[in-house]
Structure 1
């Protein structure tokens, strides 16, 4: 279910300042028709240089109905964000293209849903299937779902993939490693949640869990801060700490095959989508690491300023209204990416 937020007054105040002469590769994006959500996702996609490089090499000469092509318009937007001199609104055509599909202008959207929608539209519209698969594989996290019947012990399993890993958070102090561990811990299902067992030919109590089959170069994690109950949606502002360097094998060892290579499980944080405000009145911004100087920058629509790791840590939550909502990690250690 979609969760809608509106721009905060704080975000509107920030947009009065436009750092157009920023000497880094991070370019501000003007807020067009309540586009802060798309703007923040675009900043993370621009910081994902693997995606930008694939789109730059992609041959788009055969694209029909250019105004409807998300891959083409995204490619042009990312290229324009790197252009000299900067263009005033490099993503305007992309916004109109998304509006023709499912991401409407003048409407507030959920950042994770916008990210997944863009990725799925890219996959559907690219005739170059090889490039489409390469792009999808940047984020594709392969998992196996297994359900064990608690009456006859038979096991059903099914493999699938996720572009964004949804992590449930508790209403107190959380750590990212704890959220990951909770996701992969087997859960017992009973009552109305019982699953059908083919061997027993009836719904029975069961135990459901996940195993990791393969890891992507880019690991996207979604902190599920919006919770609905009794017809109302509220935001959880509680603390969720997350590291600059993430060792997945150390965090959720039981979810991996026994022959997993340690180095392939290490990731470095490079982008954070931030939500400020409440469930019904808020604003999206982003922290990203620049490809060239490897420094952190804060992008609030058209306003861009240099930031620090301590600034990024300020989005953990608790006393702050600005909280991390999506985390983007790149395979490799933080030390490697500083070189």
Structure 2
């Protein structure tokens, strides 16, 4: 894993601060680069002023994160040493010296912010920034009775097939009715457990859309979890208007801008049991792409980002998109 303090290469300073690697912290480092690149997130977190709390400073995740992100966005000419934040996570059961799943750490950090931030209204604003609201449907396959419930995700878990995929197809399949393999659900109309299909309809999208490509699968041959290194193509611009059918969108969904621009790609290199995370971050100032590999940061091209589609052990694991702020056209009604 990279431990170099270099933050500039032959392309010049890219405008990102490198992060030292402490005890397998590449997973957290990559997430920190994405948080730092999310302007709405940093603005919300900077609004918070710590008040009386029972949580000591060295265990207070939102406080330590606020301090670190301010450091990362100030002087980018050197590498940030962020032991305080990593040890704060360790005290909150995100252990140092342990290989972590980046999506699990992402959700854990957001949950810690909800639990520990003293301004609960502000905590809800941060949650809303990532909240994908869906209508969950269960359909009995005997009488076709349909039950509905509302739930949400903070990152959309996209199953992928062990062949060539596109993110658009993965999203489309996520919102299709699927058989619940080996599990019967209680049908209110039949009064007993019946074979059931489960599916989701989109209710609302957040300003920051996080997509988790589920690259873990079970190998019947080895009996262990394997990593799916298959290709998953993803676009720089994602348009939900062209991905989902009308019947995959809830009737309660309001008209809103559904175009998103990619700004962060978290990449995993290695196997399901051990590997290394890096992050590709798009600059908000000049729209260039930069690759952050712990403390080493360099400018790259979109072609370099495309190389993480998969097909080898180095592949994209999480994608982060920002909603376009264009206004929707007014309805004639």
Structure 2 length as normaliser, TM-score? 0.90
1:57 aligns with 47
Distance 2:43 2:286 in 1: 18
Which has a greater percent of helix? 1
Task: Choose the corresponding residue for 1:25, options 11, 15, 26.
Answer: 15
**Rounded Cα–Cα distance in structure 1 between residues aligned with 2:134 and 2:252:** 16
Q: In the alignment, which residue of structure 2 is the partner of 1:292? A: 285
Q: State how far apart, in whole Å, the 2-side matches of 1:267 and 1:221 are.
A: 12
Unaligned stretches of 5+ residues in structure 2: 327-333
**Cα displacement (A) at 1:150:** 2.1
Whether 2:239 is the aligned partner of 1:255: answer no
CA gap of 1:173–1:88, structure 2 versus 1, over 3 A, is closer
Bigger mean CA offset, 80-89 vs 120-129: 80-89
Match of 2:196 among 189, 195, 206: 206
- Among 71, 85, 93, which residue is 2:84 paired with? 93
Structure 1 segments of 4 or more deviating over 4 A? 85-88, 258-263
CA drift at 1:261: 6.4
Mapped to 1, the partners of 2:298 and 2:39 lie a distance apart of 20
Residue 137 of structure 2 corresponds to residue 146 of structure 1: yes
Per-residue Cα deviation, 1:34-93 (whole angstroms, up to 9, x for no partner): 100000011111111111111112112434411111100111110010122656434221
The residue number in structure 2 matching 1:3 is none
| 1:283 aligned counterpart, secondary structure | strand
TM score, norm. by length of structure 1 = 0.89
**1:1-339 mapped onto 2 (5 Å cutoff):** 11-12=1-2, 15-16=3-4, 18-19=6-7, 23-63=13-53, 64-84=55-75, 88-189=79-180, 192-230=182-220, 231-253=223-245, 254-257=247-250, 264-318=257-311, 320-332=312-324
Q: Judge conservation of contact 1:290–1:297 (CA < 8 Å) in 2.
A: yes
Q: Mean alpha-carbon deviation: is it higher for 212-221 or for 85-94?
A: 85-94
Could you tell me whether the CA contact under 8 Å between 1:249 and 1:256 is conserved in 2? no
Aligned positions, number: 320
CA distance in 2, matches of 1:136, 1:333: 19
Q: Could you tell me whether the CA contact under 8 Å between 2:17 and 2:78 is conserved in 1?
A: no
Structure 1: segments with no counterpart, 5+ residues: 1-10, 335-339
SS at match of 2:122: helix
Indicate how the Cα distance of structure 1 residues 157 and 172 shifts in structure 2: closer, same or farther if over 3 A, else same: same
